[in-house]
Amino acid sequence: MFKIAVFASGRGSNFQSIIDAVNRGEVPAEVKVLLSDKENSGALKRAESEEIENIFINPEHFENQIEYEKEIINILEMAEIDLIVLAGYMRILSPLFVKKYKNKIINIHPSLLPAFKGLNAQKQALDYGVKYSGCTVHFVDEGMDTGPIILQAVVKVEEDDTVEDLAARILKEEHKIYPEAVKLIAENRIKLEGRKVKILKEEK
């Protein structure tokens, strides 16, 4: 069985969307472990209620990021993880960690990358005056939201949108395309050619 680890810092709604898709039999994978850097994160509570191994690792208990990530790597190796899914994980992974798991880490971002990278992407989009925004699932590389794009979903921006309005509509699309991306990878239907991601047809 294809095994995934989810890293989350917040409420864990994308994490839940993946769990639900797995439970419905839509994604041929097992959510093996949930790791969080926040002791009271909603994601930890969701994992506990789903009886998924959940681990809080306090970054402040380590001398530096390398030592912190060594602890994470130990857990991932023990669990024989095939894919790392970042779901609202608010820490930047070191280049060493990213290289170790090259093309095995994915993230979701609330904009149509490469536009509006980093924090507050929905506000950036509204401030810029775009007519369409959306979300992007991408592989993680050493840059900030710069990895190869796997899937995107488009969301129309309404004239009276607040940041909260737009964020809520984008989140609905995130909950659709993130499980789909995990499914494609678990089914070995993703082929990387440079920066381009090709999606292979489903075998009948």
Say whether 107 counts as a known binding-site residue: yes
Does the annotation place 23 within a ligand binding site? no
CB 148 within 8 A of CB 192: yes
Whether 109 is a known active-site residue: answer: yes
| Neighbour tally for 40: CB within 10 Å | 8
Q: Is 134 annotated as a binding residue?
A: no
90 in a known ligand binding site? yes
**How many CA atoms, within 13 angstroms, populate the side-chain half-sphere of residue 79?**
25
* 49 is annotated as contributing to ligand binding: no
Three-state DSSP class for residue 133: strand
The DSSP output letter for 61 is G
- Nearest to 93, CA basis, from 12, 151, 9: 9
* Annotated binding-site residue? 93: yes
Crossing angle (nearest 10°) for helices 42-49 and 13-23: 20
Of the candidates 61, 109, 138, 175, the residue annotated as catalytic is 109
Decide: 107 and 145 in contact? Cβ < 8 Å.
yes
Q: Tell whether 64 is in a known binding site.
A: no
| Residue 34 labeled ligand binder | no
Q: How many residues does the chain have?
A: 204
Q: Exposed (0-12), middle (13-18) or buried (19+): which is 188, by Cβ within 10 Å?
A: exposed
Binding-site residues from annotation: 12-14, 90-93, 107
Binding-site residues from annotation for (6R)-10-formyltetrahydrofolate: 90-93, 107
Catalytic (active-site) positions: 109
